[in-house]
Structure 1
Amino acid sequence: MKPKTKVMKIAIAVSLLATLTMAGAPENVAYGQSLEKLTVRFTWKLKGEYAPLYVALEKGYYKAEGLDVQLAEGNGAQNVLKALAAGNENFGYGPAVAAAQAVSQGLPVKVVALYQTSAPMGVIAYPDTPLKGPKDLEGKRLAISVGETFGDMIRPFARVNNVDLSKIQLIQMDASARTMQFLTRKIDVMSVYLSNELPQIEKRAGVKFNVIKVTDFGLSVLGSSMYVSNAFAEQNPETVKKLLRATAKGYRDAMANPKEAAKIMAKHMVVAEQPDVLDAQVEATVVSTNAPAGKPIGWQADADWQATLNLLKETGGITDIKPLNAYFSNAYLQ
């Protein structure tokens, strides 16, 4: 083979390989652009509820959108929302009802995707502690924590159900201490997410607890959602769209295969969780996922928002209701 011919063939081969590589790469990466670094700050410690986002991370859906996403634990919804408003965080993931209160208080934040139209909360007690309805909370010791959804909503819940809060011993403690205090019977009742803490604590205790679902007693409020500051969304609309598009793919896969999602989540748990508990958490999460027919996962309906806002106003959780577009937007969902 002549030297010039050999050189030409090598050049063509290299060019072809580069073309194929670029074709298979994400658009932003294909042209040598670096990934955009982002953080999604959860409002709580890692739990099975967050599995869909880890599915999106592990399967490369964020990277395919040109995003380098870090998923990080948080310490309460209000703290995360304040950090977003101050520009110290990119995205937050937590209960939309907390965002509703924050917006009503003047924080410049918005919900850009709603993954649960009703937060799956409950209150639990040991089998020998009567608990059939909200009035049974009177005379009992209830642990609450800063940033915990039911703790934030205990007053509206009490008003709706004519519960005398003065007859409940509200004991504020660190979130990490609540479970142990409950298991050792130092408190009588505690609130849980039915999709997360309940299967975990029942496994540890080896019993089935008495449970009241707060949604059965007038406290149906918006659940898991993606938050962003108004300024960030306005300045980076394509970034928001990319993050939500990739997250929706994670939700889609988790809904199709919850056990696979639980296995992926297990790899990322800071504190290892038993497989059957994670399975139960993820299964309960995907069952409650907001995936309306003909709409993107996370689509938000005016009626769901209006119902939560009306409840908050009627029970004193907020003083005034702003226009709905102050609270949420579907503009970034595709």
Structure 2
Amino acid sequence: MKPIRLLAAAILLALAAPAAQAQTKPPAPPLTKLDVLLDWYVNPDHAPLVVTLERGYFREAGLDVRLIAPSDPNDPPKLVAVGKADIAVSYQPHLHIQTGQGLPLTRIGTLIATPLNSLVVLDASPIRSIADLKGKTVGFAVAGTEDATMGAMLARHGLTVADIKLINVGFGLTPALASGRVDAIIGAYRNFELTQLELIGKKGRAFFVEEEGVPPYDELILVAQRGRLGTLPLRPFIDAVERGTQYLINHPEESWKLFLAQHKQLDDELNRRAWRDTMPRFALRPGALDRARYLRFAEFLHSRGVIKSILPLEEYAIELPRRH
């Protein structure tokens, strides 16, 4: 009987060893916190970030990510530049201007890879072409490139910015146009303002900037402070966003439910339509950089007098190196 008892004891010890090892397994390393400042209040444009967060892909990458809406849409890049936040959602046109002014920012990824910007008029308006804007008032929301954009669009019709009146209407683009305060709005997102107008019984008509003399560009990008590129876990962040974007494209209805889980106030007709209209515009390779596109747009802004010089591309836009 003694050999049997010894064998039983050996078996018990063997079974207990993995349990003991499991009990002494070191805890998982703490998550790295990243604060991401949005460019606007949360909306379907931010779907890749929200879905990545809700699917847990950031946490799986070792990141504790907070998405923060700004009180002023002009602030996020400036706050990132001075180290008050880690990443900001911004716009490619503004990046060229801000880095030209000395802000130490670098594009690290793309959320929306096509222009959303458009010039919108009411369908009942007598403005049937850009040439009809002469003497008219055009509202805009965020200052920066409205002169260059309008200048390029007007130049194709023999006009200049001096032939129109530009006024800043802040967040109220749609109300300003619907009320007749302005004759047109520039900076109107084709996936939002046109639907907003329709829902209040004011059909709109859009002129797309890339069809009217403005080179195509990335609408929404992700920027970080240049001096922190080597210290922040940016590649894991971008890789997680790519996973989230893939899920979003493959499962749009499930992703919509995830989006609403934390943003129930957005469950309305406007945002449902915006969700559908924005889907084809998300960057499927958010980390990829189209060098020629960025250089071409820099040349455009320089030719319009918006930036004084064309900086070397690596000073303001990179494709993050692969993790080993």
Aligned residue for 2:34?
Answer: 38
Counterpart CA distance in 1 for 2:123 and 2:89 is 34
Equivalent residues in 2 for 1:256-271 (5 A)? 256-269=250-263, 271=265
Aligned residue for 1:26?
Answer: none
Instruction: Indicate whether 1:250 and 2:244 are aligned.
Output: yes
Pair 120,290 (structure 1): closer, same or farther in 2 beyond 3 Å: same
Instruction: Tell me the SS of whatever aligns to 1:115.
Output: strand
Counterpart CA distance in 2 for 1:173 and 1:317 is 21
Q: Tell me how many residue pairs correspond in the alignment.
A: 312
Pair 75,198 (structure 1): closer, same or farther in 2 beyond 3 Å: farther
Deviation of residue 56 (structure 1)? Answer: 0.2
Counterpart CA distance in 2 for 1:203 and 1:121 is 18
Instruction: Indicate whether 1:109 and 2:105 are aligned.
Output: yes
Aligned residue for 1:190?
Answer: 185
Aligned residue for 2:289?
Answer: 300
- What is the TM-score normalised by the length of structure 2? 0.85
Instruction: Indicate whether 1:68 and 2:69 are aligned.
Output: no
- What is the TM-score normalised by the length of structure 1? 0.83
The one-letter code of the counterpart of 2:276 is E
Counterpart CA distance in 2 for 1:40 and 1:223 is 17
Runs of at least 5 residues in structure 2 that lack an aligned partner in the other structure: none
- Deviations along 1:257-279, whole A, 9 cap, x unmatched? 223333322333384341x4333
Deviation of residue 75 (structure 1)? Answer: 4.9
Q: In the alignment, which of 277, 288, 292 is matched to residue 281 of structure 2?
A: 288
Instruction: Tell me the SS of whatever aligns to 1:212.
Output: strand
Aligned residue for 1:312?
Answer: 301
- Deviations along 1:68-104, whole A, 9 cap, x unmatched? 1001112556422111111111001121221121112
Deviation of residue 52 (structure 1)? Answer: 1.0
Instruction: Tell me the SS of whatever aligns to 2:112.
Output: coil
Q: Tell whether the 8 Å contact from 1:143 to 1:173 is kept in structure 2 after alignment.
A: yes
User: Once superposed, what is the RMSD of the aligned Cα atoms?
Assistant: 2.9
Q: In the alignment, which of 321, 324, 329 is matched to residue 310 of structure 2?
A: 321
Deviation of residue 155 (structure 1)? Answer: 1.1
Q: Highest Rg: 1 or 2?
A: 2
Instruction: Tell me the SS of whatever aligns to 1:303.
Output: helix
Q: Tell whether the 8 Å contact from 1:266 to 1:278 is kept in structure 2 after alignment.
A: no
Higher share in helix: 1
Q: Tell whether the 8 Å contact from 2:94 to 2:145 is kept in structure 1 after alignment.
A: no
Instruction: Indicate whether 1:154 and 2:146 are aligned.
Output: yes
Counterpart CA distance in 2 for 1:6 and 1:86 is 61
- Deviations along 1:233-290, whole A, 9 cap, x unmatched? 1223xx101111111111111122223333322333384341x433332333231233
Q: Tell whether the 8 Å contact from 1:43 to 1:73 is kept in structure 2 after alignment.
A: yes
Counterpart CA distance in 1 for 2:22 and 2:203 is 59
Counterpart CA distance in 1 for 2:315 and 2:225 is 11
Counterpart CA distance in 2 for 1:12 and 1:278 is 55
Counterpart CA distance in 2 for 1:262 and 1:35 is 27
Q: Tell whether the 8 Å contact from 2:80 to 2:86 is kept in structure 1 after alignment.
A: yes
Deviation of residue 140 (structure 1)? Answer: 2.6
Aligned residue for 2:200?
Answer: 205
Aligned residue for 1:98?
Answer: 94
Q: Tell whether the 8 Å contact from 2:106 to 2:315 is kept in structure 1 after alignment.
A: yes
Equivalent residues in 2 for 1:13-32 (5 A)? 14-15=19-20, 31-32=27-28
Counterpart CA distance in 2 for 1:298 and 1:258 is 21
Identity of aligned residues (%): 19
Q: Tell whether the 8 Å contact from 2:241 to 2:286 is kept in structure 1 after alignment.
A: no
Q: In the alignment, which of 201, 210, 215 is matched to residue 210 of structure 2?
A: 215
Q: Tell whether the 8 Å contact from 1:78 to 1:98 is kept in structure 2 after alignment.
A: no
Instruction: Indicate whether 1:59 and 2:55 are aligned.
Output: yes
Aligned residue for 1:178?
Answer: 173
The one-letter code of the counterpart of 2:39 is T
Counterpart CA distance in 1 for 2:299 and 2:267 is 38
Deviation of residue 13 (structure 1)? Answer: 7.1
The one-letter code of the counterpart of 2:199 is R
Counterpart CA distance in 2 for 1:281 and 1:16 is 52
Pair 75,190 (structure 1): closer, same or farther in 2 beyond 3 Å: farther
The one-letter code of the counterpart of 1:45 is Y
Counterpart CA distance in 2 for 1:333 and 1:279 is 36
